[in-house]
Chain A
Amino acid sequence: MSKMKKIFSALALSVLLAIPAPTLAAPASGKAPELQKWSFAGIFGTYDTNQLQRGFQIFQEVCSTCHGASLIAFRNLTEAGGPEFPESQIKQLASEYYIIDPELEEGERPAILADQWPNPFATEREAREVNGGALPPDFSVLAKARNLAKKFPMNFYDMATAYQEGGADFIYNLLVNYEDEPPHGVEIADNQQYNSFLGRGIAMMSPLMEELVEYDGDGVPLTVEQYAKDVTAFMYWMADPHLVSRKTIGLNVLIFLSVFALLMYLVKRRIWAGVKH
């Protein structure tokens, strides 16, 4: 048994040493990010349906005027493990959007549940024209396309705790760190606003402000921080829509493998009991 222990600790150590921090797109000169407690982080992580619904509200009322979400279908908004809106509500919502279809006489038709979320701009050129030359990125996988670099050994701590929510932390910190004026001596372009998390100007003007979106009842604070948390959670769901079912299966798999491993260890020990080795 002590030999086994030695081997497994050696294995664990070699994992710890072997996998270095991937160098990722962290802001070069910005201020230290504030990490959030995401409900979907860790092995028991799961989405908060109410938060996703609030996040969707912000996405729909604020973000979606410039940002697309081309991989999301209306039906996804009704599915388990997501915002879980009632189907009738999303059917109604979809019918308020138009899908361009040159085959039709009218050239367009109301969207149905199966349709993808329509892009706010027909072409990239149009999007850039409206946004001062900048292209608002699509939201579908954006929460996965950003990350906060963690240095050794914190990257191993993240692996050991299954924390891969660096993208959510990145987006939250971006949203809450807009400044009215750049710090003294920092030059930014005319059509940019200074963001102290990035430590530079960004073409997207501060999209959130207090009491911008009216939540239904329930006493959730109408602050920039709350909005940022909610919309980030929604963006993370868009990027990883099957997270809840995956983690649920994963827990069962882990329990199964642990019991199986224990049984196999006993089998092995029994078989070898009579053999000097």
Chain B
Amino acid sequence: MSSHSNYNPTNPVEKWFDERLPLIRFSKEHLMDFPTPKNINYWWTMGAVLAIVLVVQIVTGIILAMHYVPNIEMAFDSVEHIRRNVNYGRIIQGTHAVGASMFFFAVYIHMFRGLYYGSYKAPREILWILGVIIFLLMMATSFLGYTLPWGQMSYWGATVITNVFSAIPLVGTPILEFLRGGFVVDNPTLNRFFSLHYLLPFIIAAVVALHIWALHVPGNGNPTGVEVKSNADTIPFHPYYTMKDLFVIVVFFIPFAWFVFFAPDILGHADNYIRANPFVTPAHIVPEWYLLPFYAMLRAVDFDVLFINAKLGGVIVMFGSILILMVLPWLDKSKTRSGNYRPMFKPFFWLFVLNFLMLMYLGAQVAEGIYVILSKVGTAYYFGYFLIVLPILARIETPKPLPNSISESILDKHEAKAAKKIQIGGEGNE
């Protein structure tokens, strides 16, 4: 999309540089002049927030790696050394740990935004799939990072999650031993997890670059789901959206700082302040809150299906719950993108959100009694939403009439508002 460039270097040095490497031109096109729909709302600001949080994680992480020791005898103490003796170490380490939670909080809003407004639909399938890949990489990175302090939850979390791979028939055990670097979770495991935890964020950054590239081919979606038709529908990214995003980023930093400075441990587990001990299993092994829905689905399968035993079934369901997002563009064939114009879709979508939160709650509970039954119901609805509800809705639903263009919808909105104002004013005068 070079059509929207109005970069005309006047300075001879800039001109010379532009002819050889049009870096400034590229930045101006994509970071400043990029035509963006006028009507996108605050749910569209999480992309910028996520980009900033990724930078925060990488910067704090690099500093932590300067002081951290990936050795089972020293890892726990080295994290404490950071907290106690490194200048501002308690804040840097707290920011990194809380940052992981904030990262997932923002990504969930970002993803549910995409699900509601049909951001995955043509022509944005690749953009969506890249997003799912980033989400997978984020989960892997956060899990690897959580093992590094080598507390009880680190150790047993690593044991439980690597064990998941042993469910794969035939190659399961070799994969398990390859991941662990031995028969049990031990020093080689910690070494490779540290190495990979340092590597993956840069891969995430690279996929984010592709994600933004794929965004800038069709351009942003918007709450109406009607594509941009003319220049009247758009405004330049800068200053309109740079400043709006920056406002939201600063607001987002307020709860972030709240946790970092006043309660850096409240999102974690007390058990991770106990050194890893292979001989003592914690009473409840629970992942961090952001992985709980998937953990609940893993545990929901406690029955065999034909030749698939419960363990393998759980693993299939857990990975399937994320991989199914990759094929979502082909499951939901409704031509209408935005949930605003889909009366039947809306209740199912909000039920899906509630169901996800319920699974999150269930993932932290003991796997017994009513919790298991609810987990099964929740898992069934999670998959049912994608495999049954969306395909059927695409066939039977009559969407509300769409506006002809973005500018028309904006005009309608303002007219409706003005009419309402007059009405209210009139009533007041009587």
Contacts and interface: CB of A to CB of B under 8 A. Distances in A.
Nearest to A163: B263
B39 A19 contact: no
A128 interface: no
22 contacts: A14-B357, A18-B360, A20-B289, A20-B361, A20-B365, A42-B262, A71-B80, A144-B270, A146-B270, A147-B270, A159-B266, A162-B263, A164-B263, A242-B84, A246-B90, A246-B94, A247-B262, A250-B262, A261-B251, A272-B240, A275-B38, A276-B414
Interface in A97-124: none
A267 interface: yes
A145 B271 contact: yes
Interface in A235-277: 239, 241-242, 246-247, 249-251, 253-254, 257-258, 260-261, 264-265, 267-268, 271-272, 275-277
Interface in B358-394: 360-361, 363-366
Contacts, number: 145
B330 interface: no
A32 interface: no
A253 B268 CA distance: 22
Interface string A25-46: 1000000000000000011000
A184 interface: no
B17 interface: no
A146 B382 CA distance: 35
B365 A260 contact: no
B284 interface: yes
Given A145-B271, A241-B84, A267 B243 contact: yes
A4 interface: yes
Interface of A is mostly: helix
Contact of B254 (A141, A145, A258): A258
Given A18-B105, A162-B258, A254-B257, A267 B247 contact: yes
Contacts of A14: 109, 357
Given A71-B84, A249-B261, A19 B267 contact: yes
A277 B366 CA distance: 48
B319 interface: no
Interface residues on B, range: 35 or more
Contacts of B84: 71, 76, 241-242
Contacts of A257: 250, 253-254, 257
Contacts of B257: 250, 253-254, 257
B244 interface: yes
Contact of B263 (A23, A152, A159, A277): A159
Interface in B101-159: 105, 108-109
A96 to B, nearest CB: 24
A249 B267 CA distance: 20
A226 B83 CA distance: 29
Given A19-B289, A22-B289, A277-B39, A271 B239 contact: yes
Given A14-B357, A19-B360, A163-B263, 11 more contacts: A14-B109, A18-B357, A20-B365, A23-B366, A24-B271, A42-B262, A43-B261, A76-B84, A141-B80, A265-B247, A267-B247
Contacts of B260: 250
A261 B247 contact: yes
B42 interface: yes
A159 B268 CA distance: 12
A32 B253 CA distance: 37
A266 to B, nearest CB: 9
A177 B13 CA distance: 78
B185 to A, nearest CB: 20
Interface of A: 3-4, 7, 11, 14-15, 17-25, 42-43, 71, 76, 140-142, 144-147, 152, 158-159, 162-164, 166-167, 239, 241-242, 246-247, 249-251, 253-254, 257-258, 260-261, 264-265, 267-268, 271-272, 275-277
A71 B275 CA distance: 13
Contacts of B270: 24-25, 144-147, 166-167
Nearest to A160: B258
B109 A3 contact: no
A164 B364 contact: no
A144 B286 CA distance: 17
A25 B286 CA distance: 12
A20 B360 contact: yes
A15 B240 CA distance: 28
B250 A260 contact: yes
A264 B258 contact: no
Interface string B302-345: 00000000000000000000000000000000000000000000
A13 to B, nearest CB: 10
Contacts of A18: 105, 108, 289, 357, 360
B410 interface: yes
A18 B265 CA distance: 17
Which of B250, B292, B361 is the most central at the interface, judged by chain A CB atoms within 10 Å of its CB?
B250
Contact of B105 (A3, A15, A276): A15
Contacts of B206: none
Nearest to B108: A18
A25 B262 contact: no
Contact of B42 (A7, A246, A276): A7
A220 B365 CA distance: 43
Contacts of B289: 18-20, 22
A20 B259 CA distance: 16
Nearest to A23: B284
Given A4-B42, A271-B243, A276-B38, A20 B258 contact: no
What are the 7 closest A-B residue pairs judged by CB atoms, nearest first? A250-B261, A162-B262, A145-B273, A147-B270, A264-B247, A144-B273, A20-B361
Given A4-B42, A242-B84, A258-B254, A23 B266 contact: no
Given A164-B263, A276-B411, A242 B254 contact: no
Which of A3, A18, A147, A276 is the most central at the interface, judged by chain B CB atoms within 10 Å of its CB?
A18
Contacts of A167: 270
Nearest to A16: B357
Nearest to B269: A22
